[in-house]
């Protein structure tokens, strides 16, 4: 029904119009996407440096972590700007690194289990809290590992036969990823104690050090390659969101342009890179996870609510892909991910909500207000001209490559 790129942005726009759509885009722009990319880049840097710090309790210096994270952000931005085929090759190739690392963890864990090493499982849930707010926050951390589950929707316009291939990819990938992650976590708890899992800066490294001996370096290398691929996917998909948002008039028009040689959304890619670099100043990834997960849960809930609203509002519209109505109704249980954190972590959650609400005056000043001053229009024109010259970009004519 909505074969457009940009994922949730396109769906909220179709269901509820420009205002909530802009707030979603603003939140993704200011915090969710750049902070999410920064988290993955910092994770990559931690795992790259891990082999040089053999002691589990010895952590890499934050300056080195930030430098490597910045380098990988710039490198992947360049790859995505230069050739989209390179970007997809990186994505496809490194997917296997992630699967191999997880399969190693699963096999080793189940070998330990078969040998009767089940002591850690007996007290795995010892000390578990029943506080609903804290349980909700644990969902935030857990769900972040599934970030990217909806990235394919961000590039729907670039898919061949999306009405067939998009559902097909979802039906295969989501159950497979869920099962692999579940088995990997069980393996962690077979080998490691709950305290070791909780205190580890890099759980896979601790796991490898405990069971792989001289080849334990395989784990940080494999996870680093995995996060490299994950970051590449985040950059690829997020840039399309800003590209489509600019094309709809919700962001400066220069972000809706493509490089005239490589047919990639270079302005959006560079803009996303600059924002992501800003978030590297804080290496505490859990703060970012709280901010981003709250906002993302809120807009995903709004998106699913939009599906229900369109079923009521446009019941006779042709739907090449029709979702069973039970699924979105059950999905709305994510409402608790939005409400409960206000009680358990009111400061962090309020900051996340404040970031979203800060988009209201921006909307009325830049979108709703049509008769803008001449100075404003000239500034936008000058910025657009400079972006076109620097990134050799122009308006889209056919498609993004």
Domain boundaries, the chain: 8-395
Residue 175, both tokens: 């159950």
What are the pLDDT digits (tens) for 332-383?
777 777 777 777 777 877 888 888 899 999 999 989 888 888 898 899 999 9
Greater pLDDT, 94 or 56: 94
Coil/strand/helix, residue 394 = strand
What long-range pairs does 318-326 form, CB within 8 A, spacing at least 24?
318/1, 319/1, 320/1, 320/163, 321/1, 321/163, 321/166, 321/167
Half-sphere exposure of 253 (CA within 13 A, CB side): 14
Greater pLDDT, 289 or 248: 248
Task: Say if residue 400's pLDDT is above 50.
Answer: no
Mean pLDDT of 17-32: 90
CA distance 276 to 116: 46
The sign of the dihedral angle between the CA atoms of 100, 101, 102, 108 is positive
Q: Do 245 and 6 meet the contact criterion of CB atoms below 8 Å apart?
A: yes
CA distance 353 to 27: 9
Q: Do 79 and 264 meet the contact criterion of CB atoms below 8 Å apart?
A: no
What are the pLDDT digits (tens) for 118-135?
777 777 677 777 777 777
Task: Say if residue 295's pLDDT is above 50.
Answer: yes
Range with lowest mean pLDDT among 66-80, 139-153, 211-225: 139-153
DSSP state for residue 259 in the 8-state scheme: E
* pLDDT confidence tier of residue 136, bands split at 50, 70 and 90: confident
Q: Which residues contact 171 (CB under 8 A, 6 or more apart)?
A: none
The percentage of residues in the chain with a pLDDT greater than 90, rounded to a whole number, is 19
Closest CA to 241 of 3, 2, 1, 8: 8
Q: Which CATH number fits domain 8-395: 3.20.20.120, 2.60.40.1110, 3.40.50.12780, 1.20.1740.10?
A: 1.20.1740.10
Question: How confident is the model at residue 72, as a pLDDT?
Answer: 96
Q: Do 359 and 22 meet the contact criterion of CB atoms below 8 Å apart?
A: yes
Greater pLDDT, 143 or 311: 311
What are the pLDDT digits (tens) for 97-115?
778 888 888 998 888 888 8
Question: How confident is the model at residue 399, as a pLDDT?
Answer: 47
**Helix (DSSP H) and strand (DSSP E) numbers for the chain:** 20, 2
Alpha helices in 83-115 (DSSP H): 84-114
Coil/strand/helix, residue 87 = helix
Task: Say if residue 190's pLDDT is above 70.
Answer: yes
pTM: 0.80
Backbone Cα Rg of the chain: 22
């Amino acid at each position: 029904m909505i074969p457009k790129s940009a994922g949730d942005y396109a769906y909220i726009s179709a269901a509820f119009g420009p205002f909530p759509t802009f707030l979603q885009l603003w939140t993704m722009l200011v915090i969710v996407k750049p902070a999410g990319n920064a988290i993955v880049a910092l994770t990559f840097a931690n795992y790259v440096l891990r082999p040089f710090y053999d002691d589990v309790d010895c952590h890499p210096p934050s300056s080195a972590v930030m430098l490597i994270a910045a380098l990988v952000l710039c490198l992947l931005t360049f790859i995505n700007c230069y050739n989209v085929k390179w970007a997809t090759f990186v994505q496809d190739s490194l997917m296997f690194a992630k699967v191999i690392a997880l399969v190693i963890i699963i096999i080793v864990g189940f070998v330990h289990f078969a040998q009767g090493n089940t002591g850690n499982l007996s007290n795995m849930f010892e000390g578990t809290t029943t506080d609903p707010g804290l349980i909700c926050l644990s969902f935030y951390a857990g769900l972040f590992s599934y970030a990217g589950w909806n990235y394919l929707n961000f590039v729907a316009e670039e898919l061949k036969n999306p009405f067939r291939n998009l559902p097909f990819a979802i039906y295969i990938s989501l159950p497979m990823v869920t099962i692999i992650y579940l088995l990997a976590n069980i393996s962690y708890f077979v080998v490691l104690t709950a305290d070791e899992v909780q205190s580890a800066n890099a759980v896979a490294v601790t796991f490898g050090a405990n069971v792989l001996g001289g080849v334990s370096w395989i784990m940080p290398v494999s996870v680093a390659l995995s996060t490299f691929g994950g970051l590449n996917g985040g950059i690829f998909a997020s840039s399309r969101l800003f590209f489509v948002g600019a094309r709809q008039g919700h962001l400066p028009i220069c972000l809706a342009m493509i490089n005239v040689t490589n047919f990639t959304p270079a302005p959006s890619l560079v803009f996303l890179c600059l924002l992501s670099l800003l978030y590297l100043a804080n290496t505490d990834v859990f703060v970012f996870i709280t901010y981003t997960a709250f906002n993302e849960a809120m807009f995903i809930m709004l998106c699913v609510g939009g599906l229900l609203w369109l079923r009521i509002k446009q019941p006779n519209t042709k739907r090449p892909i029709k979702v069973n109505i039970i699924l979105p109704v059950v999905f709305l249980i994510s409402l608790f991910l939005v409400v409960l954190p206000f009680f358990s972590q009111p400061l962090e959650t309020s900051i996340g909500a404040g970031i979203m609400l800060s988009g209201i005056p921006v909307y009325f000043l830049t979108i709703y207000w049509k008769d803008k001053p001449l100075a404003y229009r000239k500034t936008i024109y000058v910025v657009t001209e400079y972006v076109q010259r620097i990134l050799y970009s122009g308006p889209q004519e056919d498609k993004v490559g």
